[in-house]
Every structure is written in structure tokens, then in C-alpha cells.
Chains A and B, each alone.
Chain A
Amino acid sequence: MRRIAGLLLLAAGPVLVLGVLFVLPVSGMVGEGFLTDGRFTPGAVLEVLARPRVHRVAWFTLWTSAVATLLAVVLGLPAAYALHRLALPGRAAVRAALLVPFVLPTVVVGVAFRQLLGEGGPLGGLGLDGTPAAIVCGLVFFNVAVVVRTVGVAWESLDPRPGQAAAALGASPSQVLRTVTLPALRPAIVGAASIVFLFCATAFGIVLTLGGVRHATIETEIYLLTTTVFDLRAASALSVLQIVAVVALLALAARLRAVPDPTAQRAVAPARAVRRGDTAVVLATLVVLGAMLLPIVTLVLGSLSVGEGWGLANYRALTTVGDDQALVVPVTAALLTSLRTAVDATWMALLVGVTVSLIVTRRSHSVAERRVRSTLDGFFMLPLGVSAVTLGFGFLITLDRPPLDLRDSPLLVPMAQALVALPLVVRTLTPVLGGIDDRQRQAAASLGASPWRTLLTVDLPVVWKPVLAASGFAFAASLGEFGATSFLARDDTPTLPVVIFRLLGHPGEMNYGMALAASVVLAGTTALVVLAVERLRVPGVGAF
């Protein structure tokens, strides 16, 4: 009992943050729909769930997300291996570049995809425009990076020796993969897949842009019901459905993640030279990269197109406020705001994320304790699975009175972005931390090391690299975040994605070109910052 009490005390801080910034607003907004003239009427909400349209929408959300997740995992695994275990030339740059889709504003990617797949585009003959297949392609494009990164980081720090031993005993490469490597990677793969699924299930802009108006998901339906139709009861019903489904999914993921013995020998293995046997993996990686490059190339070409010819005019215009003063601040100023906000969101996400990861991965001494830890683990994933619309309006109606009048705090934007980045940090760190053999810590402690010293000498050497990877990830997620930000950002300090959206919403050829140029700048900045972060070395720790 004492251990559980201590555990809860340690978890109190992060839980409180999430309680105020997430649970309170969401329950406030959902509660709004359950009240009719001040009376609690759950029956009316349940009636909504019986509508055939709700069933259609729920089923569509489920199957597109499941297919997109499966594809992202299948396509991401070879790339994760090639980019994190093989000494491919320029692999660090490619890894950073892979995060680019993740930060591109969905409106821009939507337009890029539609220029490819649309009636007049080079792939127009496939007839994919406006079909569920286009939606799935878009979702995979955005999410492959999640798989490559979370699984790659775990793969990188996986001790190669058990695999080598198996090979020495006569196992074929595929047997090694099946019986040694994949089981050790299972927590990371399941973790990545659950994040991707949640991202897909709550995707908004990409579904609208690529699916047209014909295909609705739970998320787009909640938006429609809340802002256009103002049917809060139906919106609440869908939010409840969404939350129940997410909790069920997380419970399932927790079961699948759990391995009998999560401890694995961890060491940052040096990347190995490419051999002939790697051809298939390298080829698969190249194909994935090529496919991801297509929409980006479309984008870059569009940004360089000026009038009938080519030029950099769109880029030069970024220091201005656009044709007919479409903007309040120049794009360059918005980029600075974005970077500042992302730094704040990153340290917030890391602070909470590292604490949470440490708490949930410590060895449990009783069934009750394990339950508490795994519940906590799932709790911090929730923000990914709940509608940004519900959360945004929830902020307005619950955090509106002192001492919690946060509605207009400038910190609300980085806080909201940190909420989105938090699960990425946790999912990147937990597979690695969970793999540390607790006996190492016990040994350190019995030799007289303080808990801090144990953390420094046992945990840190293994986890510093994943922490860097997680910060790059959090940074990118924050830079690209649009849903919550557009809702909360203040007019005099908009972030870059908000400005891009604004440019796209105004007529004028120059504004469109500037929007594309600004997207390229956003993508380039992200890649550079992520690359720089990953190059950081922690003195004395990374040297072994």
C-alpha cells in the first residue's frame, strides 16, 4: 500500500495538469449535451447513438483508421530498420526529413494531394480523388513517420547479441526476426500502432479535403454538429462514443504491449554496414521514401512557380504581409512565434512525459500496483483520441472563472500543443525504459547510490538518445499543430500553420504561392531543428 501511495504522490503533478487541461474541459462540454433545460437527460443522448447515420460514420472511421494504421506499420517497419540500424549514407538527414509530413498543415497537404490525384493531375487517371482510398493514402503519408521513429528508436537500442547468438545456432534471418527481434520490439510496435490509430481516428482536415463531403468520420461529424448545426446533444453522444472506443483501444493495446519479460539488454549498437542481404529492406525503404516525396515535390514546385515561369518571388514575399495585406504579421514573424511556442511546448511535454514514463515503467510489486501504473499510462494517451473541437469549446466553458480563467492566457497554445506531444514522448520512452533490468538499479542502490545517482548512472545512459528523439518529435508535433492552435491562437501572434491557412483562404495568385512557400519553409525548418537536436551529445554519457 505504501508503494502505491508513493506512486500516486509522484504521479499527482502530471495527473493534475491533465485533469485541469483535459478532463475538466471535455467533461464540461460533454455534460452540456446531457442537460436539457438544466435537467439530466441521458436518454436523449443514447437515442442519438441509435441513428443509422451515426453507425455509418462510426464504421467508416473504424475501418479507414484500421487500414491506414496497418499500412503505416507495414511500410514503416523496413524503413525503421534501414534508417536506424544500417549505416546508410545520409540516414540522419533522411530521418529528419521523414518528420516533414508530420508538420505540414493538412490544408496544404490536401491541396498537394489533390493536385496529384485530381482530375487534371499526373495521377488523375487512377480516379482516387474523393474516395476512401485517397483518405487512407493521406493518413498513411502523415503517420509513417510515427512508426519509423518510435520503432526505430527501440530498434536502435536493442542489443544485437541475442539475434547473433540465434544466428550462430543456425537460425535463418527470418527466424531471427520472427523469434528474437519482433518479440522484443512488440511494445514499441504496438505503441506506435496505437498512436497512429488515434491520430487517424481523430484526423480532421485531411478527411475533409481528400474525402470531399461524402465521407464523414466521428471527428468531422462532431465538428459539424457543434459549430454548424449546434446540436450539442448529438455532439456529446459522439464524443462519448469516441471516448469509450479510445479507452477500449488503449486497454487492448496495453494487453498487447505487455510481454512476459520486458527486460532486454540495451545498448546503443553501432550501425552496421549494408550487406547484400539488406537489398530488399533498402529497396522497400526507398519505395516508401519515394511515395512520400511525391506530394512534397508537388508542393516545392508549386512554391517556385511564378506566373508562367519559375522564380523565388514567393519566398521573397514571405517578409511581407501578402497581396492586399492578407496577413496581420509577415510569415517570418509567424515563424518566430511558431519556434518560440514549440520550444515551450517541447519542454512542457518533456517535463511531464519523462516523469510519466519513469512512473509507468518502474517494476510493480503487486497486481494492484501494476494496474495503477498501466491505468496511468493509458490516461496520458487519452488527449490523442478525443475531439479537438470538444476540448476547445470545453476550455471556453470550464476554464472561465478565477482562479482558472485560462481562456485568454498566452500559455494556452503551448499547453495545448504539449498535450498533443505528450503521448509521443511517453510512447517513445516507455519501451526503452521498460526494458531496463530493474536489478541494475537494485545493484546500484545496494552499493550505496542515491535514487538520483541511480537514475543518472543506470537510466540516463540508455535513455538519453530516445529523449533527444522524443524532443525532436514533440517539437515537430508542436510546429505543425493546427486544430487546437487555430482555435486558441491570438490574432497578433499567430503561428505559421495558422498564417498558411489564412493565406490559402484569400484569393490572389501571390497569396497561394506564398502559402506554398511558407509550407516549404515550415517543413525545412522542422527538418533542420530535428537534425540539430539529434546531433546533440550529452557529455560523458554518449561516449561509451
Chain B
Amino acid sequence: MNHASVRAALATASAALLLTSCSLTGGSEPSGTASDAGGAGSSGTTSGGTVVLATHESFHLPKKLIKDFEEQSGYTLEVRAAGDAGTLATKLSLTADNPTADASYGIDNTFASRPLGEGAFAEVTPSATPPEQYALDEGADRLVPIDSASVCVNVDTDWFDAEGLTPPRTLDDLTDPAYADLLVTPGASTSSTGMAFFLATVAAYGDDWQGYWTDLVGNGAKVVDGWEDAYYGDFTAGSKTGTRPIVVSYDSSPAFTVKGGRTTTAALLDTCFRQVEYAGVLAGADNPEGAAALVDWMLSDEVQSALPESMYVYPVMPGASVPDDWAQFAPQPTDPYEVSPAEITANREQWLTEWTDVVSR
């Protein structure tokens, strides 16, 4: 930095200070975590300092749990949630040498390779060990599995009953002319849900996935932007004006269409791709101990049992409890499709280019 830019920087910093002193936003700033800690802190605070968690916009845990964590550990938790998983991965990769946070949660198996490759994560040994089936092949010493959610094709069973049609069961069935013009899916290039479904087809058909997608589009599959467009815009069970009874959604989705003691939709468990979300300590964190404590906390029984209701995902720890509706109406797939993170990273760009060509033909 030369002299002029240092001066410029100082001037801006002082301008920012000036703004803080008289702005509404600045004035209300010492709320949230800081004052929460002040209220609860007198008994439990043991000078742990602040631990900052970088995560995606879907992050959510009950306030009470966070308060308990702060009281028991002595740390003040500051959550910075913004953007989707892809944005988070890019953010962590770009700031690998100077992270904005201490820990991160929300990198999934489709994006894990990128921040790992940029050296964004430090090694961590959690106090509890999640089941082996969720661990990454590479980077298991740095990314700790927290939860999983499978992307599965969902069907509106009420619609199929009313039409007297047997619902499809497999990926192959979706190209059957009997189900022409009934499927809607978010795009692989614009939605992580769409990407997961695409990966299921890659795992199922290998190099011939292009042939499958050509048939799928030929059979009238509709490709839209995001999950909410597909589910709330086109799916018959999600939208009053929807016309398509088959949608790409999640294994847990049928738990949200429960009416009068039964669900009106079903997830096709032979069509699933499993997304696993991880937490980790960031390399170069200001507070690595706090970050490690946070990762341990995410594996605790309280947090694991809160995950389904808070973030619509299944906990990875076997002892955690899931809601009754989930246990009853939203079973998990036992043998989902898999593609390794390294393979995803190596091929993502080429796959997306080819996929876009296929669906926009």
C-alpha cells in the first residue's frame, strides 16, 4: 500500500466511524449475541472470548441451544450465515489465508474438495466419532460429518391414486412414456438440489448419463431454476396451479405433506443422492479452541436431535432422536447413489456444460 491509499483508507475508516455514531443501523448494533452474552454471562462466562461460525443461509438452531452452548463453554457464539453452499465454499476458498471466521458448518460432499484443496481447513479431532459411512475419503481429518439429507424424486400419491396410475419407482421409470410430461426438476447448474439429482443419474448411468437426460427431456421433463420453483410452482402437491405430480425434492419432504394422519406424497428411495454436510475448524482461526468446541457441540445429542426440526436434515449420530412424523412418513434411503467429491470437482464444469447443452437442445 502506498501513502495515498493509506490516507484514503484512514479517511474512509474515520468516515465509517462517523457514520456509526449517527446511523440507525450502527446504533442498534450491540444487540444479538453481545447483549445475550451479557445477560447470561455473569454466571458462566470464563473468558473464552468469541467464536465465529461461517455458514450458509439455511443454518438455524433454536436460540436456547445456542445460549446453553455459550453458558457451558464460556464462548460467545457469533453466527455469520449468508449465501448457499456454493457461495460458502467460494468464500472459504478465497479467504483461506485470512478467514473471517473460526469454524465453518455447511460445506457438503459436492463442494468439499474445493476449500480442502485451497487449505481452508485445519485438522480437528472431535470428541465423538460419527459413523464411518459419512466420512470423506480425503479430508476426513479436517471435515466432520454433522448431518445428511438425500435428494430423491417425490411423487404426489393422491394424484396418482385419483388418476388410477401406478407411480414410478426408479430412475428408469421416469423415461417411460406413461409418465410423459409429469416430472419437474430444478436445474443442475442453478440449484444444489438439481445438482444432487444430476449426480444420482451420473452414478446410475456412468458415461451414458447424456443418453438418459436426452430421454428424460424427450419424455417432457421440465427443468426450472430452483427447488422452490419446482415445488411451489409446478408440483401438484405444492402448488394449486401445479400440473406435475413428480418432483425432485428430499427424503424428508413427505413429512411436510401430512394431512389427517397420513402423507399425500412419497419419496422414491431408489432414486436418491445423499448430501452430507460437514463442520470444521478454519486454518488460521483466531480462536481454534473455541472452533473445536463448536464442532464438538454440533455432534452433541441436543444439537443432533434439533437438526431435523431446524434444518430439515437427518442427524448423523445414531443416538439422536428424530420427530415422529419423520420416523413414520419420511424413511431414509438405505443405499443412495454416490459420486466421490474428488470426481465431482474434477468434472463439474464439463458435466454442467454438457448437461446444459442436453437440456437446452
Contact = CB atoms under 8 A, between A and B. Distances in A.
Interface of A: 16-17, 19-20, 32, 53, 107, 110-111, 114-115, 118-121, 130, 208-209, 211-214, 216, 220, 224, 226-231, 305, 324-328, 340-341, 343-344, 348, 393, 396-397, 400-401, 403-404, 406-411, 413-414, 486-493, 498, 501-502, 504-508, 512
Interface in B57-89: 57-60, 62, 79-84, 86-87, 89
A489 B231 CA distance: 26
Nearest to B26: A411
A10 to B, nearest CB: 15
B80 A212 contact: no
A491 B81 contact: yes
A111 B79 contact: no
B100 A408 contact: yes
A504 B228 contact: yes
Contacts of A489: 82
Contact of B84 (A227, A326, A348): A227
Contacts of B58: 502, 505
B228 A343 contact: no
B23 interface: yes
Residue among A17, A325, A410, A486 having the largest count of chain B Cβ atoms under 10 Å:
A410
B241 A20 contact: no
Nearest to A15: B8
A20 B9 contact: yes
Contact of A343 (B15, B24, B100, B309): B24
Contacts of A325: 60, 62, 309-310
Given A214-B360, A397-B95, A407-B100, A119 B243 contact: yes
A144 B140 CA distance: 53
A340 B95 contact: no
B233 A208 contact: no
Contacts of A216: 356
A16 B100 contact: no
Contact of B98 (A227, A228, A393, A400): A400
Given A118-B243, A393-B91, A486-B82, 20 more contacts: A17-B12, A53-B353, A114-B229, A118-B241, A120-B239, A209-B229, A216-B356, A227-B83, A227-B89, A227-B90, A229-B352, A230-B89, A327-B60, A340-B24, A396-B94, A404-B13, A491-B80, A491-B82, A498-B57, A507-B253
Residue among B189, B225, B309 having the largest count of chain A Cβ atoms under 10 Å:
B225
B348 A408 contact: no
B360 to A, nearest CB: 4
A411 B352 contact: no
A377 to B, nearest CB: 22
B226 A209 contact: yes
A507 B312 contact: yes
Contacts of A119: 234, 243-244
A487 B62 contact: no
A305 B239 CA distance: 11
A502 B26 CA distance: 24
B223 A228 contact: no
B88 to A, nearest CB: 9
A208 B223 CA distance: 11
B33 A492 contact: yes
Interface in B283-328: 309-310, 312
B87 A111 contact: no
A227 B23 contact: no
B335 interface: no
A344 B79 CA distance: 23
B114 interface: yes
Interface string B134-151: 000000000000000000
A111 B90 contact: no
21 contacts: A111-B229, A209-B229, A213-B224, A224-B190, A227-B87, A227-B89, A229-B352, A325-B62, A344-B26, A396-B91, A400-B98, A409-B16, A411-B16, A411-B23, A486-B83, A492-B79, A493-B28, A493-B31, A493-B32, A505-B228, A507-B312
Interface of B: 6, 8-13, 15-16, 19-20, 23-26, 28-29, 31-33, 57-60, 62, 79-84, 86-87, 89-91, 93-95, 98, 100, 114, 187-190, 195, 223-229, 231-234, 238-244, 249-250, 253, 256, 309-310, 312, 348-349, 352-353, 356, 359-360
A52 to B, nearest CB: 11
Contacts of B25: 340-341, 344, 410-411, 413-414
Contact of B226 (A121, A208, A220): A208
A226 B89 CA distance: 10
Contacts of B100: 396, 400, 407-408
A502 B57 contact: yes
Residue among A120, A213, A502, A507 having the largest count of chain B Cβ atoms under 10 Å:
A213
Contact of B95 (A107, A396, A492, A506): A396
Contacts, number: 192
A237 to B, nearest CB: 14
Given A226-B90, A348-B19, A397-B95, A213 B234 contact: no
B89 to A, nearest CB: 8
A324 B309 contact: yes
Contact of A229 (B6, B80, B239, B348): B348
B221 to A, nearest CB: 12
B256 A487 contact: no
A401 B94 CA distance: 14
A213 B94 contact: no
A403 B9 contact: yes
Contacts of B29: 410
A318 to B, nearest CB: 18
B84 A397 contact: no
A341 B28 CA distance: 10
Nearest to B241: A120
Contact of A209 (B82, B225, B234): B225
A212 B90 contact: no
A386 B239 CA distance: 36
Contacts of A19: 8
Contacts of A396: 91, 94-95, 100
B55 to A, nearest CB: 8
Contacts of B190: 208, 213, 220, 224
A387 B23 CA distance: 27
A528 to B, nearest CB: 18
Contacts of A17: 12, 15
Contacts of B232: 111, 504, 512
A65 B197 CA distance: 32
Contacts of A491: 59, 79-82
Contacts of B356: 213, 216
B10 A403 contact: yes
A492 to B, nearest CB: 4
A397 B94 contact: yes
Nearest to A122: B241
A7 B112 CA distance: 52
Nearest to A343: B24
A224 B10 CA distance: 35
Contacts of A401: 98
Contact of B359 (A110, A214, A397, A508): A214
B60 A328 contact: yes
Nearest to B98: A400
Contacts of B12: 16-17, 20, 404
Contacts of B249: 507
B90 A230 contact: yes
Contacts of B188: 213
